[in-house]
Amino acid sequence: MSFSVEALSLMFYFVQQLGVVLGVGAQTVILISYLIATRDNTVDQKEEQFGRVVVQVLKFGLYFIVISGVLITVMHFTANQAEIVYTPAFVFKWVLIFVIGTITFMVGRNPYMHFFWEGVLGSHWYALFILHVVAPLTTWPDLLVLYVLWTVGFLLAWNALVYTMRAPKAVTIKEVEKKAPPPAPKPIPPPKPVPPPVVAAAPPPKPAPPPLPQKPAALQSPQLPVVIKPTVAVSTSPVISIPQKPPQKPAPPVPEKPIEDPDANPGLPTIRVMPQTQQDVDRQMRPSVVQFDQQ
């Protein structure tokens, strides 16, 4: 039984330690981000988103502290250890947790408050961390004096840092106004189907008009030919007499050679000669005689 109680006690203290580390770490990041934001006196959109994430981590750490603290308190009462619950350090730890939770949930989702409240919240987180780690056995007067001295000293140091890091003309941190996103463009309706154009039937062509009769051209009167009268040109120059050549004597006719009869010369081969006269034709109308030499 003792082993199980010790195991539960160790597990609860581990969860509480994790919550304290998450809370103190997140508060440290918020303080540093606040100092950076005071340089230009503005908080842009990225810084605001980052701060909100850190605040969520801080709240998770606070949940772990409250849940584990309640379980540890119940465990002490069940184990007849009420004297531990009523010690000044144990009770004052719950006071610090109450102050931290009240300020955190009053702020809401705004990660950057006024620098005074940022200093108050930071001083209580660091006081809770020291009290959780040291857990001193002290009295209430000493504990209250230490708490006041710590809170005042931390606020003085924090205000000095804020005024040192702040720009010369800065007064308070102004959040950048978020521009509303432009409205989404209206969807373009689909184009209406265009009906096909109705083509009217072409009217039938009109018949061509009959050709007009051509007017007969006016006949021109025939023109009489102009007769040119010959003119006799009388030359005054002396007439040149050209001597005429004497007439040439005709050439004497060439006597024709008598045509030899092939029959008169039997030694010659038979040759047909184109007849020139009727007598030649009569001569050729007989068989040719060829004589052969007899040996």
39-53 pLDDT tens trace? 777 777 887 888 888
Predicted pLDDT at 185? 77
Predicted pLDDT at 211? 73
Q: What average pLDDT does the segment 82-97 reach?
A: 90
Q: What token pair was written down for 98?
A: 């109450």
Single out the residue of 70, 36, 39, 40 nearest to residue 54, CA to CA.
36
pLDDT of 277 strictly over 60:
yes
251, burial (CB in 10 Å: exposed 0-12, middle 13-18, buried 19+)? exposed
Contact (Cβ atoms closer than 8 angstroms) between residue 15 and residue 67? yes
- State the residue for tokens 């039997």: 266
Contact (Cβ atoms closer than 8 angstroms) between residue 112 and residue 43? yes
Contact (Cβ atoms closer than 8 angstroms) between residue 9 and residue 137? no
How many Cβ atoms are within 10 Å of 165's Cβ, its own excluded?
A: 14
Single out the residue of 61, 67, 101, 72 nearest to residue 5, CA to CA.
72
pLDDT in tens, 58-72: 999 999 999 999 998
Least confident segment among 17-21, 101-105, 164-168, 198-202? 198-202
Give 14-30 as a DSSP string.
HHHHHHHHHHHHHHHHH
Single out the residue of 6, 150, 9, 1 nearest to residue 68, CA to CA.
9
CA dist., res. 143 & res. 134, Å (int): 13
Predicted pLDDT at 150? 94
Residue 283 to residues 68, 117, 180, 204, 272: CA-CA distances in angstroms?
Answer: 173, 172, 145, 95, 11
pLDDT of 267 strictly over 90:
no
What is the maximum span of the chain, computed from C-alpha positions, in angstroms? 198
Predicted pLDDT at 38? 78
Q: What token pair was written down for 64?
A: 């772990």
Q: What token pair was written down for 166?
A: 């702040």
Q: What average pLDDT does the segment 272-284 reach?
A: 71
